[in-house]
Amino acid sequence: MKKHGGLGSKNVASSSSVTVALVILTALLIGLNYTVMKWALDHTTPLALAALRTSVGAPFLLAIAMFRGEKLPQNRQQWMAVWWISLAITTVSSGFLVLGISRLSPGLAAMLSATMPLFTAIIAVLVLAELPGRRGYLGLLIGLFGAVCLAMPAFGSGNTTLGIVFSLISSISWAAGAVLNKRLPGALEISPLMLVALQITFSAVCLHLAVPFVEDWSDTSMGWGLALPLLYAGIPSLAVTFYLFASVLRRAPAIQGAAVAYLTPFFGVLFSWLLVGDRLGTFEILGGALVVTGVALLSLDRR
């Protein structure tokens, strides 16, 4: 019995470590995306960029899913689950994310993405009755405070109120999608890979249909300046991260899975410094340390 219990404890610890690693990798890929999409926006418009990146990511994931023999949804319940999660995460959230990034400094855009765990916690409590423990609440508070510290220098540098509103809508929509991923029975019956592949495919169609109503495709200039950022924004940053995110949600509570947003500002500022030359100040260093601490506490929360 003791051996069995010891083995079980090791398995739990191993599973927790894998979850933390997935959270960090997902946040790293998304954090780099803020700078990459800023580059891409020099050659296209926000919604067009959102549509184009889904057009790159969808075929990539669908091809892998088909190669692996993943099953398509088998009934209406499963198809509807894909639709609602797609609408929340890869359509509305992704669209408003790019709209927000186009109007904000990278630091503030990254900080606003860190509000996702707060909205996820609220929605998870209301819909799933999923309450964090004391350690989880402490992690939430520390992580959010760290995210604010990370982005403090960004205030007063040309940010717009509309951009802030867009970014908050993106966070709320993503949080709703994270909870739907746990709530809808049909979603749990589909493999994470196929679920995300179909999500992005649906979003590509919806976003392409929306572009002509609010933007003009003539403002998009195709070339290497757009193609290279699109490859990153569409595959590592979109296809890969959404698959990793879906995997995290299958392994952990919705609030814990949303901890990805805590590390995103840290990596967003880090890559902005490395690639663009933005300097890390006292607030960024302090914020980064607090964010990592918050993620650790939330990930280790046992409720």
pLDDT confidence band for 284 (50 / 70 / 90): low
Are 248 and 227 in contact by the 8 Å Cβ rule? The answer is: no
64 token code pair? 């892998």
- Residue 237 is predicted with a pLDDT of 87
Q: What is the pLDDT of residues 123-161, one digit of tens each?
A: 877 777 767 778 777 877 887 787 777 666 656 555 567
Residue 199: closest CA among 173, 232, 217, 226: 173
The Cα 119–Cα 109 span in angstroms is 16
Tell me how far apart the alpha carbons of residues 300 and 303 are, in angstroms, rounded to a whole number: 9
Q: What is the pLDDT of residues 88-99, one digit of tens each?
A: 988 999 999 999
- CA 294, 296, 299, 302 dihedral sign is negative
With cut-offs at 50, 70 and 90, classify the pLDDT of residue 43. very high
Count CA atoms within 13 Å of residue 11 on its CB side. 7
Q: Are the beta carbons of 173 and 93 closer than 8 angstroms? A: yes
Q: What distance in Å separates the CA atoms of residue 146 and residue 25, rounded to the nearest whole number? A: 19
The alpha carbon dihedral of 243, 248, 251, 253 has a sign of negative
| pLDDT above 90 (res 232) | yes
Q: What percent of the chain has pLDDT over 90?
A: 30
Whole-structure pTM value: 0.78
| Mean pLDDT on 233-259 | 73
Q: What average pLDDT does the structure give for the chain?
A: 81
